[in-house]
Amino acid sequence: MSTKKVLLIVGGCFLGLVLLFAGSMVVAKLLFSDKDKGFVTGPGIGLIEVKGMIVDSTEPIRQLRHFAKKDSVKAVVLRIDSPGGVVGPSQEIYEEVRKLAAKKKVIVSMGSLAASGGYYIAAPATVIYANPGTITASIGVLIKFSNLEGLFGKLGVSSTTIKTGSFKDAGAPDRPLSPEDRAMFQALIDSTHEQFVKAVAEGRKLPVDEVRKIADGRVLSGEQAKALKLVDKLGNLPDAIEEAGRLAGISGEPSIIQAPKKKVNFFEMLAEGAEGRFNGVLNKAAVGRGLQVTYE
């Protein structure tokens, strides 16, 4: 094969790669535009959805802050369908909802489930809607441990732990909890539970003692929660959107605005993928020791 043909083939391949890359960038830009969905130019209602276990607060916080800065967004509806999750992310979302509610009306719409951490993030909203049959409340904290000492013994597996303090391996699956371990973990969840109770009392403007009476982990229907002042009104998502428009002073049916998706960056995706795998290892290690304190 002549040199000229080789150069033509190589050049054609290179050009094809360039065109493929350019096409990918165009598609990514169309899919992940900075513009709000719906291209609404007038006043509207922001809509944020929190679904599933709450393990990361990054995306809800990004959307809450985005709407806080948008003058065209006159109120925000926070749709929650979550059984709860990890304490830290739930508290972070709660704080951002509280900040936004101080600037704009925030109306929560509970789906089938908004319990524990799912209720926690709803508490500081301006108005909370729930369906009559929504499962909610579950104000409580737990931490789980697995003792695999007997199983390890049957398998002929033994372990040795070298530690710097008596509590460093507390909750490890290869030994039972000591009375001191149990007291330490009980103090931990008691402290976290009290934070939950105070957050609900502050968000709902209820006496702390009144919240504490029902903060025993019990689940409630939306109807029951309304009777206990944990929920303001019974209704669905359209009802919550209509309420948001009314409170924002928007005449007629309000336009719905959704926050733009996060921009896609190839190198960030690689970094986040590696970070996600690393965090997954850390989370598995924490769960192995029973150190995941959760609102669930």
Does the structural domain 34-295 have CATH classification 3.30.1330.40? no
Select from 110, 67, 82 the least CA-distant residue to 295.
82
Q: Is 147 left (phi over 0), alpha (psi -120 to 50) or beta?
A: beta
According to the model, what pLDDT value does residue 255 have?
93
More confident position, 211 or 146: 211
Length of the chain: 296
According to the model, what pLDDT value does residue 269 have?
52
DSSP state of 18: H
Which position among 168, 198, 262, 263 bears the catalytic label? 168
Taking 50 as the threshold, does the pLDDT of residue 26 lie above it? Answer: no
| Average pLDDT, integer, range 45-63 | 96
Between CA 177 and CA 181 the distance in angstroms is 6
Which position among 116, 138, 221, 255 bears the catalytic label? 116
Distance set, CA 243 to CA 67, 226, 254 (Å): 18, 17, 10
Between CA 73 and CA 67 the distance in angstroms is 6
DSSP state of 177: P
Q: Which of 8-12, 168-172, 179-183 has the lowest mean pLDDT?
A: 8-12
Parallel, antiparallel, or unpaired for β 127-130 and 105-115? Answer: parallel
- The residues spanned by each domain of the chain are 34-295
pLDDT in tens, 57-114: 999 999 999 999 999 999 999 999 999 999 999 999 999 999 999 999 999 999 999 9
pLDDT band for position 19 (cuts 50, 70, 90): low
pLDDT in tens, 113-132: 999 999 999 999 999 999 99
More confident position, 212 or 294: 212
Taking 70 as the threshold, does the pLDDT of residue 263 lie above it? Answer: no
| Active-site annotation holds for 37 | no
Between CA 6 and CA 129 the distance in angstroms is 68
| Active-site annotation holds for 159 | no
pLDDT band for position 38 (cuts 50, 70, 90): very low
Q: Is 264 left (phi over 0), alpha (psi -120 to 50) or beta?
A: beta
Q: Are 75 and 107 a contacting pair, CB within 8 Å? A: yes
